[in-house]
Amino acid sequence: MTETARTLLVVFRHTPYSGSLCKAGHDLALAAAAFEQAISVLLMDDGVWQLLRGQDGTSIDAKTSSRSLAAFPLYGIDAFFVDAQSLRERSLSGEQLEGNIKLLESEQLAVFMESFDQVISF
């Protein structure tokens, strides 16, 4: 009997340097991917700041979030889904973000999220 891999969506909703949630989410996504789980990542609300180009966490003695996310493709997480409305609300555009970005409009989000077996939010 062959088991079908369960799909996991990791949702980031918080800023990269506001506590341990960001790091915990990164660790979970990478650990699950290392065990060959089907992982996707969605950044929404303040989580979109995690992909902002040019950030540098060293001034606050923190690991730069976008550098951590840059390792995700090595684990088979090839794209970052981003809530387009969250970008607009923060006066950002996809061009200001690092990585392979796929923008989702508000009307696409519910269907997208429902397509996963599990959704974990950080």
Average pLDDT (22-45) is 93
φ, ψ at 111 (rounded to 5°):
-65, -40
Structural domains for the chain: 7-121 (3.40.1260.10)
Read off the pLDDT of residues 49-71 as tens digits, 9 standing for 90 and up.
999 988 876 777 777 677 788 88
User: CB neighbours of 113 closer than 8 A, spacing ≥ 6?
Assistant: 9, 11, 42, 119
- Percent of the chain clearing pLDDT 90 (strictly above): 67
Contacts of 79 (CB under 8 A, 6+ apart): 40, 41, 99, 100, 101, 102
- What tokens does 80 get? 């970052």
* Phi then psi dihedrals of residue 16, to 5 deg: -65, -25
Strand, coil or helix: what is 21? helix
Lowest mean pLDDT among 33-37, 101-105, 118-122: 33-37
* Residue 4 pLDDT class (50, 70, 90 cuts): low
Q: Enter the pTM of the model.
A: 0.89
Q: Which of 111, 109, 79, 110 is nearest to 94 (CA)?
A: 79
Angle at 93 between CA 88 and CA 98, to 5 degrees: 130
pLDDT for 1: 47
